[in-house]
Structure 1
Amino acid sequence: MSAPDGPTGLRLTVVGCSGSYPGPDSAASCYLLEAPDGHGGTTRVVLDLGSGAIGPLQRHVDPRALDAVLLSHLHADHCLDLMGLYVLQRHHPDGPSGRRVPVWGPTGTAARLARGYDLTEPDAMSAELDVREWQPGRTVDVGALRVTPFAVRHPVEAYAVRVVWTDPAGGDHVLVYSGDTDTCDGLDAAATGADLLLCEAAFVDGRDEVRGIHLTGRRAGEVAARAGVARLLLTHVPAWNDPGAAAVEAGEVFGGPTVTAAPGQVHHV
């Protein structure tokens, strides 16, 4: 495919943003990042590939051509549609693509994906997917992007992901994805100085009092304010929530531009 239309640079397309399960208007978590690679091509990765996302993703890119899938954690609403990518890789009538799609994720990602397709060997998808495990704080290069995972606060091993693209004309462009998390030092460190913070806000102040699972809109706004981010993009809002409530909460504590994610949105970083 050709390079992204519009301004050159790091571009985020919201593929799916529904929290915890696909909603009537959105797949679960999936975000396409595209950036020029400096050689006339484009680096394309997705942040998460949650339930329902493989369908709308195909409107934007051939999933078999992705440079990587970057998983925040292994809950179904963030990784389950890797089953579909496996099927595309293995059974497409054009034959195998000739390359394994790299997948970065938490400890045990390969075995988790194999169980999802009822395969008995933990490396059963290794011919189709090149699965690698995050090391907290260790940066990996994916084409034109530098990607660093930060351990965050969730009931399972989970990461915020900091993505940096360096403009050949000068300057870094930084996008940070919170994954699923409550307030924690790892999220603050990941988000520091980000141009765009893509931050979950699944909980609602006054309704969801349990801690250690998700952020409210207010807590997401507090993270953005502490970290000095330029823009806040709220996501992972379940279909049972008022979609605008999180932005109202965030706006009470964060003075920068705040938007609630919706499928098909494009944000230039």
Structure 2
Amino acid sequence: MKLTIVGCTGSFPGPGSPASCYLVTAHDGQRPWRILLDLGSGSLGVLQRYMDLRDIDAVFLSHLHPDHCMDLCGLHVAVHWDPAGWGRERITVWGPEATADRMATAYGLELDPGMHEDFDFRHWTAREPVRLGPFTITAHEARHPVDEAYAIRVEASEPLSDGTVRTSVLAYSGDTDTCEGLVEAARDADMFLCEAAFEEGRDDAIDGVHLTGRRAGLMATEAGARRLLLTHVPVWTSVNTVVDEARETYDGGLAVAVSGVTYGVWSGDRLAEPKAGPKAGDPLHR
């Protein structure tokens, strides 16, 4: 399983990255499957550096704040108004129950048909697995000030050349404060992609919104996650501060997500060395 950081800036796009969007790729022995975890503001353009939009197998939304879902409106335009025709089935979009109506309203559409002609909207049931190609995706209730917020666990079972199957686990926090659902999502994960938007001493008195680096480390330790990749760091939060905080509460491999970097997520292995993504104008990666 591979994880490409498309966007990782918290709350709104920053000068070096769009808002939250993560491309996850795994192979079932026949073809690569590509899913997106969130599609936040500014991410759709950068995503096209790494793939053709027609190759999106599904989109999985953690919650409906714009920095995690708003570029679904742009994807609607790409599907609906392509002069050559989309030529593919509707894109499946998993998210909170209000996703279809929220997206239609954001784009100024009538709720019927809204974006239903382009997207097959399905809503999460917490702890109920969704299976797609080599992936099993499970949403766990998170703690954030919206009607529905989820942390997402992604398991990929990929056949190897020796006939065995390797299963690897990626956990994604979405936006959340400390909670049991987050620990469940990240239990024994090979990589835990976890938000760290707040700083101790500045924001730690705020409850139920975001994690500090210290809290992210505590959640990773409690879950037994093998690697911790901090993300969703806003422009006003110090990367060095949240890393130092996380190191106080977590002693495993630790890094910070950077837009344009791809990681291998391998079961029981060390975090693969990151690879720089393609530059603008490079051929699409298929």
Shorter chain as denominator, the TM-score bin is over 0.9
The partner residue of 1:47 within 2, 18, 37 is 37
> What is the aligned partner in structure 1 of residue 226 from structure 2?
230
Match of 1:186 among 177, 181, 186: 181
CA RMSD of aligned residues (A): 0.9
Matched residues in 2 for 1:170 and 1:136: separation? Answer: 27
1: CA distance, partners of 2:54 / 2:114: 18
Alignment of 1:76 onto 2:80? no
| Aligned partner letter, 1:212 | G
Q: Which residue number corresponds to residue 60 of structure 1?
A: 50
Q: Conserved in 2, the CA contact under 8 Å of 1:64 and 1:88?
A: no
| Secondary structure class of the residue paired with 2:221 | helix
Find the counterpart in structure 2 of residue 171 from structure 1. Answer: 166
Letter aligned with residue 86 of structure 2: P
Per mean C-alpha deviation after superposition, the further-off stretch among 89-98 and 21-30 is 89-98
Q: Name the structure 2 match of 1:259.
A: 255
Equivalent residue, structure 2, for 1:93: 83
Partner-residue secondary structure (3-state), 1:116: helix
Size of the alignment, in residue pairs?
Answer: 259
The normalised TM-score by structure 2 is 0.89
> What are the residue-to-residue correspondences of 1:121-160 with 2, within 5 Å?
121-156=111-146, 157-160=148-151
Give the aligned residue type for 1:32. Answer: L
Match of 1:32 in 2: 23
User: Which residue type is aligned with residue 256 of structure 1?
Assistant: G
Give the unaligned 5+ runs of structure 2: 266-286
Inter-partner Cα distance in structure 2 for 1:234 and 1:154:
18
TM-score (norm: length of structure 1): 0.94
> How far apart, CA to CA, are the structure 1 residues paired with 2:221 and 2:97?
31
Answer yes or no: is the 8 Å Cα contact 1:244–1:260 preserved in 2.
no
Cα deviation, residue 122, structure 1: 4.9
The CA distance in 2 between the partners of 1:158 and 1:138, in whole Å, is: 15
SS at match of 1:244: helix
Give the superposition deviation at 1:170. 2.9
> Using the alignment, how far apart are the partners of 1:122 and 1:228 within structure 2?
45
Contact 1:188 1:226 in 2 (8 A): yes
**Identity, % of aligned pairs?**
51
Contact 2:54 2:88 in 1 (8 A): no
Q: 2-side partners of 1:183 and 1:177: how far apart? A: 13
Tell me the residue number matched to 1:6.
none
Conservation of the 8 A alpha-carbon contact between 1:233 and 1:258: yes
Distance 2:254 2:232 in 1: 15
Alignment gaps of 5+ in structure 1: 1-9
- The offset of 1:123, in angstroms, is 4.1
Cα offset, 1:93, TM superposition: 2.1
In structure 2, what is the equivalent of residue 17 of structure 1? 8
* Partners of 1:248 and 1:58 in 2: CA distance: 34
Distance 1:256 1:212 in 2: 26
CA distance in 2: counterparts of 1:150 and 1:159, whole angstroms: 5
Contact 2:26 2:158 in 1 (8 A): no
Whole-angstrom distance in 2 between the partners of 1:98 and 1:91? 13
Looking at structure 1, the residues matched to 139 and 231 of structure 2 have their Cα atoms a distance apart, in angstroms, of: 19
Q: Say which SS state the counterpart of residue 39 (structure 2) adopts.
A: coil
